[in-house]
Amino acid sequence: MVNVYRPFSDEENFLGDLSSITAAARLPFPCIVSNPNLGENTSIADVKEGHARLLEVLERNGLPLAFLAVRAPLLEAALEWADCPVEALDLRLGPGGEPLK
């Protein structure tokens, strides 16, 4: 799961981590999930921009995308423009693991 808004998510670090993880797990190919988010304040514009950044990296390196993951409230908006499968996630960062709205 790749969040381009997190530290060390630039192309060089991403590719190095991906290589290490797939080698350690003995995976023949990676399953990459785009999860561009800034927490509960993420807008659909943030998702579009971050997702596009990751797609550029994947394309340059011949890597596949499995799907895009977005916060549940953004699912319908993401489905309108995304050209890949989209899945909804609930953030569970509240007290006691309560889902954030």
**Rg, Å, the chain Cα set:** 14
- CA angle at residue 59 from 56 to 60, to 5 degrees? 85
pLDDT in tens, 65-93: 999 999 999 999 999 999 999 999 987 76
pTM of the model: 0.86
Share of the chain above pLDDT 70, in %: 90
